[in-house]
Structures are given as C-alpha cells and as structure tokens.
Structure 1
Amino acid sequence: MFDRSRVSSRLGPPRVLLMIVVSLVSTSSGIAGKVELSGGGQLTGDVRRTEKPDGSTAHVVVRVDQDLSIAVAGAHVRRAVEADELKEYRERAAAAGQDAEAQFELARWCKSKTLLPQYRYHLTRTIEIEPDHSLARAALGFVRNKSETGWISYEVLRRSQGLIEDMKGRWVLPEVLAASQFADESDKKSKLWIKQFRRMNANAIRGDAEAMAEIEAIDDPYATDAIAAELIRSRKAKTNLRTLRLGYVRLLGRLRTFGAVKALVEAGLNEPDELIRQEALRQLTEYGASSAVATYVPLLQSQSPEQVKAAARALAYFPNPELAFAYTNALITEHKIKTQIGSGGTQAGFGNNGGAGLTQGAKIVEQTIPVRHPEVLQLVKMIAPKVDYGYNETEWRNYFAALRNPHRSDLRRDP
C-alpha cells in the first residue's frame, strides 16, 4: 500500500517525483497531459500552468488524482503539454488519414504546439504517402540528389563535400573549424593572462623584485595582449614607469607574435616617450620590419602634418631606395585649414541711397596650404646622401628616375 504521508517528506528532485507519479497513474484512464523535465524524465496527469507577470512559466502543477497534485518550478520544466492539446492532437491525427497534405499540415500544427516527436512522425508519414513532397523533405533535412535520382539527407550531402558541422550547426571545412577552435582557445588563454599580468604589474610598480623577475621570464605567446594593453595604458601613469615600460617593449620584441608586432608598430608611431618609441622601432628592425613599413608608408599622405612627421620619423629606421618616389611625394603635402576673416561681431551700415543694413564682420574660410616636412627630407637624404635638392620634388623625381633608367648614348646593338 502506497503511504501518502511519506510523499510530502520526500518530494524533492524531479527524478523522485517521476517515481511517485508513475506508481499512481499506471491504472488511470482518459487522456493525460505531459510534463518533460529539464533533468530528464517526464510526468503525466492533468497539467495546469501558472505564469509570471512577464508571461514565463512560474510553476507547472500536475494533478495525479483527486487527492494528489505535484508542483514543479518552471526552471525544471523543459516542456509542458496540457491534456486538451493532446486530445486535439488525437482528433486531428485520426482525421488526417492517408492524405499527404493533411499529414503535413498536422506536422506543422504539432510544431506550433511544441509536440516535436509527433512533428517529425507526421513529416515522415507525409513522405511515406508522397515521396516527393518537397516541403516535408526539406523540413526533415533532405535535398535533391543532383548526381542521382531521388533525395539525399543534407548531412550526408555536406559530409560528401568534405564538410563537418560545428557547435552552432554550421557546415564548414575541417581546417576552418580547427582554426575557429584554436582562436577560441587562444582567446580564453589571453584573457587569463590579462588578470594575471595586472597583478604582476601592480607588484612590479611597488618595487617587488620577484614580480619583475616573473615578468622578465614570460615566454608564453598568449601573454602578448596583456603586455600590449599595459604598455598603452601606462602612458597616462602619474609615476615614472620608463624602466618598466622599456622592459615591456623588449619583452614584446622577444615574443615575436603578430600581436607583439602590432603593438610595437603602434608604439613606434604614437609613443610620446622618445626613448621607448626608439626602442620599439629598434625591436621592429629585428622582427616585424615589413609590417612596420606597410603601416607607415601610407601615412606619408595623411591630411595631418603631425602624422606625416611621425610616419617619416619611424620610417627612418627602415630606409628603402625602392620607396624613393613615396618619400619624394611627401616632401611637401597640402593640408586644409580653416581661418577667420574679419574681426567678428555684427556691424550696421548705410548705403548710398540712405538704406540701412546689418552685416557680419567675420567669416570662416577654408584654405589649402603647403607644408614642408624636414623629417621626410632627412629620410630622402638617407637613400641619396650625395645630392641635395631640398624640397624640389621635381628634381628629386628626375634624379631617382635617372638612377633607375641610366642614359645610354649609343642604343645600337652589338653585331
């Protein structure tokens, strides 16, 4: 005999509830609702839901018989189907019969009611009755087999193309998935380093010799982002951290990762501390020179004179005769400035016919002015130390053109 007094004291996890319900409803009659539990298993009985103000499920109450009801918190419910819905389903299923379109419409209704096993069952019934029902085939994941007659599952097709499915359900090449997984793993390791490096940096600022030794011993490439971020952040430090920051630049140079090169290229252009900026550029001469040049050369045509100056200053560490014309074109650049004409304010005036009027005393005018760049001229002289045409771009172009295409007095070929 089942002891109800023990139920109230032992109700707890959903798995225990499932055992109780099964023993009570095994002989019940009629159509029962169903509750699927998030932890596995299900409850059957008369199902009623209570909702929160936002419309989500607060509790699902399963009435086992007249004397016993069980409430399950909404967080533990994966899906709940009330008895009325199951009754309607049975009526619709009986009416569908051997009509393929009726079976397909029933499948769509089941999906709208979250009756997912029934949904797939009636899709299958649809193609059993009508094998070429395209919508049912598509819903079940089939596509036309172009090489043969009939249908093939989308999964089989994709696998035959050498693709595999990732965690988001996308079909990708194995190497793409491997690269994505590697990137995700790298991101996790980099984020762990950020927290760890902040601790080490804080201790080093306080003069902790052990922390300094830890930093100098870093050889993990995943620490790159943490070091680079601290190098930039420490520019605004109120205390003098030059020695520590120089160590970070040298550490980045030793790591030789893409992120390290990127950080050094940025420092070589924008670092306000001249000594640290020079050390970053020196590190790039040993590793990362091509990335540095590719970044700096386009900046020679910047609309900002300061940026042209910074780019030319950095490029002086990588002089290249092949870039002669790029250097020459930046000797004098044009920049737009806005100037005010007039003293400002509103003035009253009278015309020859005696009429009066008001005029504005100032206006803003945009002008284009040429700017000479001594840093670029120095860069040009580095690749042509024996001549000096100053800022005469035409003479410099002629000179470099002559070097590339030397004049030949006799163009006749030898017999």
Structure 2
Amino acid sequence: MPEIETSAAPGMRTLAPEFFDHPHATYRAWREGGGPRQARYPGPAPVEGWVVTSYADAKELLADQRLSKNGAVQRFGHHVGLTQGPGSALFSHMLNTDPPHHTRLRKLVQKAFTQRRTATLRPAIETHVARLMDAWEGRDDVELISEFALPLPLAVVFDLFGASDADHETLQVRGNTLDGGQGDGEVSVFTADSMLGYLRALLALKREEPDDGLLSALVEARAEGEEALSEDEITSMAFLLVIAGHQTTVNLIANGIHTLLTHPDQLALLRADMTLMPGAVEELLRYESPSALASLRYAAEPVEVGEVTLGKGEFVHISLLGANRDPRVFAEPDRFDISRENAAKHLAFGHGIHHCLGAPLARLQAEIAFTQLLSRYPGLRLSEDHEPRWQANPRHRGLLALPLRLT
C-alpha cells in the first residue's frame, strides 16, 4: 500500500504523497488495527499527531472539551513559525475557540445566521445554478469545478453578505489547480490580507447602510447580558463563512457528481426518482466527505481512548473519512447506496458544539445543484480521458478538476 513512507519515530507513520489518492485504504487498515495511530501528514507544514479513525471514538472526541481548539491554533502557529498575517481580525471565530468564549460567539452568530435566512436563499441559488449552466449553451465539454462548483457557493456567500458579485475573486481561496497554481487549498498571508481589507470595507458600508443581509445582522446581534460582536469577531466570522462555506460546498458538489457518474446504477435510481435526492446528498456526504479531517485539536490534558493515552500537548486529528466508513455503523461502508437508511448519521459536518453552522446551506446548494444538473443534462458523463486527482491536503477531500461531457 502507498500509505506509509517511513517511520520517523517508534510508532510514527509518515504518509507518502500518494496517500491523498487512496486515503480510504489507509484509514480502513488503521481502523481495523484498532485504536488511534500516530502519523505525520505530508505537506509544507507537516503536523505529527494522533489520528482517530473509528466512528465511536471520533464522535466522542468531537464533543470532548479536553481537546482544545484555541490551544491547537496557538500551538500550530508556533509550530509553523507563523509570525505575520491578519491574526485576530480573521481567526477570532468560533471554530478556533473553546467555551465559554465559544458559547458566546455561537449564540450571537446563530442569532444572525438562522435557518429562516438560509431558506430564503433557495430562489437565488436556483437562479445562480441556472445562470451558470446557461453559459454552457452550445458546448459539449465543461470543467465542473472552475465553471460551476466554485462560482456557485461564492455567489451564494455574496448574496448572504449583501455584497457585489464583481468582487468574487477577492474572496476565492480554493487555488488547487492542475496547471501549477496553489495546490494545498490553504489561505496565503497575501490572500488573507486582501480578504481582510475587503471585509472591513464591506462591514463599514453595512454599518452606514444596513440591509437584511448577514453582515448587517451580525452587527446588530446581541443576546441578553452579552456584548455585541466586536469588529474582529465579525470579520473573523465572515472569513469563516467564506472559507468553510465555499471550500466544503465546492468539494461536496464535485465529489458528489464524480461519485454519481462512477456509480451508474445509483445514478439511474436517482434519475428515476428525484425524491431520493435528500437521502442521496446524505450518502454522498458519508461516502466521500468534503472535509477529510475535522479541524485541528490538541489535548489540554491526557485523554484515554481505549488502550491509548493521548498525551497532554499532543495534536489530535479526527478522521471524518475514516469514521464515515466504519462498518460497525454503516453496513458495507465502501458501497455507495443512495437508499442507505442511516446515511444521515455521518459526521461530515462534525458533532457537538463545533457542528457546522452552515450545514443546512451546504445541503441546500448541493440538492439544487444536483437536481438541475441531472435534469438538464441526461447524457452527463465523465470525459473519456478523466483520471481523478485529489488535493494534496489532509483536511480537504476534493478533486483538482472534473472535466465532463454534457451530451
């Protein structure tokens, strides 16, 4: 198997770059071996840590407050020598914080980012999807990621913010391309600085001319006995929505179409009965989770997981890909089945206090995108020369490109 390259220390596995093309095989072997494993992922800033691959352990640790988020951010910054950048103005969001600070942020943000606000976006999402496909009129071939899966969630984020669609490129961070562009899916300091400048200017406009968008709602959000969100907290939350919102949704749409087109029996079943779409989206989230690992955590104190003790100060990687294919929860987990009854038990959006607040919006975009794509293009298929290549990023599970034939 290509997963193990060398051992840097007793029990430490260093993953080879080929791991990203076949992560399920590696996680299956580790899960079957029992208990967390120590590993170092490849990349420009490799982080050694414990990797948890079973569903039960993952679900328990996702909700375990002994695993710190704020501490992980601080320690990771020290680990990679991060001494520059926008700092608290973009990273003071709830995904990076622990209670009680997280509790306050979540309460205020949830007050602004309601399910009702998400539901009102349906007509706009349907319009964006149709507009993107209209641009393909007369064509036989398209590249789904750059021409659909990426611009769609960006347009939705701008609708949510009440921002100008002329500035989409300012907030685009998914730079993984096949032509030599940024391939790690992360945000550079230059990109972050540009985004911060844009978000501050947009926030100033919303304070001067408030509307019914999310940024205006965040400015006004208050709970009884709580202070309003600070400037840094609002820009950080906006940044989180951009990053988590469009990276996850890009991968969900691209991974989903690729999975459907490589499983013709399930695609035919879905085409014959589109009422199966909600369940299909849940199974797609389980089968090829758009986030491969949960956001980084570290042990603020020793944590026992079975017969293993995660030592104080050690990083912990929770594998969503591994958990979502655990046979103790999902029968025949490597089989893609849109009729799977318990698919919605997946952990693709996390669990506990850090469960993704934008999950309903991601589901809504995917459901609309899949429905319109499959309805409008009955002959949709992969390009003949397509060979799947995946992002070289342990946290994101996403294709680099997805060339399709429309007819």
In which range does the TM-score fall when normalised by the shorter chain? under 0.3
Higher normalized contact order (CA 8 Å, seq sep 6+, divided by chain length) = 2
Task: Identify, as 1 or 2, the structure richer in helix.
Answer: 1
Task: Identify, as 1 or 2, the structure richer in strand.
Answer: 1
- Taking structure 1 as the reference length, what is the TM-score of the superposition? 0.20
Tell which structure's C-alpha radius of gyration is larger: 1
- Taking structure 2 as the reference length, what is the TM-score of the superposition? 0.20
